[in-house]
Structure 1
């Protein structure tokens, strides 16, 4: 417990200077990810994200996603069908506005391990029902988790995390955005971990950084 408290305090101290930055310079994302087995082959995913223009109070976006996945092979290959609801509150001409999105998505995840490198590839296709119309988007995510204080991602392990994700529209303009991320994490137990880092999001006309804090919960709903 002392290790968790020290890790959390380190995250706060590390992130404090960034969170005090102007909202036009740096935002903050707080995220919960649940990936819970409901049978030997099926898993339920739940995701909640609160995105802010500043440390907390000026909401940029609220995102809720859920889905049912199926393991093609044990722990390494998974297909999923999901739904997401996104409430956005961007600024337009200095005024706060509001928009909503309903999203259906299909994804395929495959995992690999080379030495200490735990690698994940995620391919996702999204059907997006926006206030201004319908769009489709493809995303490719390449992520790494690398244990530091142990050789494996076992309980009480500090690890490094990194990913790159590119977003492409299926119409014009093709390029939507690219995200590059780096973080430190702590494995609390075999089913839970916490992570804090920095993500830079590159779009056609802007480039913006985000401090991110994420909690991962993989507690199974079944003993099978």
Structure 2
């Protein structure tokens, strides 16, 4: 019953938000994240993000990422090598354009728990192969999940989620962008959860908001 109420609230909230999307230049991101155990130490990361300039229909970016990770300690301190395909359709002088990027990335994720606070640090290095350029970028994300109606992130738990992520170029200008995010999430079961939230991105001295819906799948392959 709780999950039905949550979904109803999300749909209502998004409907209200999207009715003003064009006026407020508010975008929407629909995201799927998979982190599936292959064995006790190895995992497969798979991710799809469908990003729109408005609620739906005006594609801003389609991002597909995948990678293989390895836990240095039990279920923590994960190192990963991955690949990303990014199709972007930005507006240039009022005209919609299209470009494709291939991206290789390496990342390290470490987790910490302090009471109800579940912290995650993610360090990511990206090699970006654009159509007419090559760039390197470093990203650092600090995120936290805080269960609300339980002390831990157990099934049927509502939780608050937040993160800040900074992007830095290896050349000038060094600062690329910064993202600040807040959301309400629900743990469906031990392997699945959903989130609905809002992210503000600062880039080129401009702020832009994004409504985000995310689904997380951690179903393992076989018995580990």
Short-chain TM bin: over 0.9
What is the root-mean-square deviation in Å for CA atoms of aligned residues?
A: 0.9
TM-superposition CA deviations, 1:91-146 (whole Å, max 9, x none): 11111100000000000000000000000000000000012300000000000000
- Kept in 2: contact 1:24–1:53 (CA 8 A): no
Name 1:9's counterpart in structure 2.
Answer: 8
User: CA separation in 2, counterparts of 1:59 and 1:4?
Assistant: 29
Deviation beyond 3 Å, 4+ runs, structure 1: none
TM-superposition CA deviations, 1:141-163 (whole Å, max 9, x none): 00000000111100000000000
The gaps in structure 2 that reach 5 residues or longer are none
1:166/1:92 CA distance change after superposition, 3 Å: same
The gaps in structure 1 that reach 5 residues or longer are none
Name 1:213's counterpart in structure 2.
Answer: 213
Name 1:193's counterpart in structure 2.
Answer: 193
- Kept in 2: contact 1:23–1:53 (CA 8 A): no
SS of the aligned residue for 2:221 comes to coil
User: CA separation in 1, counterparts of 2:36 and 2:45?
Assistant: 6
SS of the aligned residue for 1:22 comes to helix
TM-score when scaled to structure 1?
0.97
1:18/1:64 CA distance change after superposition, 3 Å: same
How many residues align? The count is 223
TM-superposition CA deviations, 1:157-208 (whole Å, max 9, x none): 0000000000000011100000000000000000000000000000123210
User: CA separation in 1, counterparts of 2:111 and 2:207?
Assistant: 30
Q: Map of 1:28-67 to 2, 5 A cutoff? A: 28-67=28-67
Tell me by how many angstroms 1:24 deviates: 6.0
Q: Map of 1:87-106 to 2, 5 A cutoff? A: 87-106=87-106
1:23/1:131 CA distance change after superposition, 3 Å: farther
Which deviates the most, 72-81 or 10-19? 10-19
